[in-house]
């Protein structure tokens, strides 16, 4: 008596092709421009691709955070390196958008209504994962309960840097108790004791090589995020000058202020002390 076995986990239908697997019909039908202006498609594609890269970045940073929590640094290094390469693509995308002139954008800007990149829930989740906590940002998503709840969970969870500091403490470095157990919804504040712990790592790299590598991976992550922010700011400045953003943000002024935010402050300040 013969029997038919069910396909294994992840098994594909025999007639599935490339377009089916990637759901290209759905993906390529999502660029619904609201005007006939040539450059609106460019604007839509750049931002949609950015959201896809953000989705992958969040996936990888969550994995990195979990690996640090489990004392598994090699997988964390792999995923953080991948994020760095994603960031390179996101930085380069501003060069493409910058080919759009102020007149090109003005021709369809009104069609955006009150929508703005400021409202990107994925970008906000990325910031929360990296430690840039701001409870006020939840208010932007009050009318989207699923996004609001996901962001509230990210706000209340330890960030990537929080888990890095917990790892340092488990390795015997002197991390203050108030940095290991605190209100995770609050932004991280720099600590002289934490800087001293990182300095111990950087001054004895032979002993702490993996922690030293972790520190540099984090610095690289913040460095590229700042490059992305700077490129964003200069592109906006080039296209709309100092007008207010479509969603009511301060536009360039807001983006300039974002450049002053530090995610991993002690990893930067220790360089002056070394």
Per-residue pLDDT of 76-109, as tens digits, reads 999 999 999 999 999 999 999 999 999 999 999 9
E strands, the chain, in order: none
What burial letters (b/e) apply to 213-242, b meaning 16+ CB within 10 Å? Answer: bbbebbeebbebbbebbbbbbebbebbbee
**Are 151 and 127 in contact, with CB atoms under 8 Å apart?**
no
* Boundaries of every domain in the chain: 38-107+121-273
38-107+121-273, which class in CATH?
mainly alpha
- Please tell me the predicted confidence (pLDDT) of residue 148: 95
Question: What's the mean pLDDT in 156-177?
Answer: 98
| pTM metric for this prediction | 0.91
Tokens representing 146? 């699923």
């Amino acid at each position: 008596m013969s029997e038919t076995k069910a396909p294994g986990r992840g098994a594909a239908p025999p007639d599935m092709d490339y377009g089916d697997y990637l759901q290209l019909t759905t993906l390529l039908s999502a660029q619904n421009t609201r005007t006939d202006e040539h450059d609106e498609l460019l604007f839509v594609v750049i931002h949609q691709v950015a959201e896809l890269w953000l989705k992958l970045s969040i996936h990888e940073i969550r994995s990195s955070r979990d690996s640090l929590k489990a004392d598994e640094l090699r997988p964390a290094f792999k995923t953080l390196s991948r994020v760095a390469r994603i960031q390179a693509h996101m930085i380069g995308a501003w060069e493409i958008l910058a080919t759009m002139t102020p007149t090109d954008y003005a021709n369809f800007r009104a069609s955006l209504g009150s929508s703005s990149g400021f409202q990107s829930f994925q970008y906000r989740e990325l910031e929360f994962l990296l430690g840039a906590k701001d409870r006020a940002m939840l208010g932007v998503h009050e009318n989207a309960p699923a996004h609001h709840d996901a962001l509230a969970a990210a706000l209340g969870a330890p960030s990537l840097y929080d888990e890095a500091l917990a790892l340092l403490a488990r390795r015997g470095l002197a991390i203050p108790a108030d940095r290991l157990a605190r209100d995770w919804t609050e932004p991280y504040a720099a600590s002289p004791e934490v800087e001293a712990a990182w300095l111990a790592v950087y001054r004895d790299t032979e002993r702490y090589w993996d922690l030293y590598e972790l520190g540099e991976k984090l610095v690289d992550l913040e460095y590229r995020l700042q490059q992305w922010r700077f490129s964003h700011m200069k592109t906006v400045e080039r296209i709309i000058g100092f007008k207010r953003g479509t969603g009511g943000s301060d536009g360039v002024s807001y983006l300039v202020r974002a450049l002053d935010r530090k995610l991993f402050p002690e990893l930067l300040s220790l360089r002056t002390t070394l």
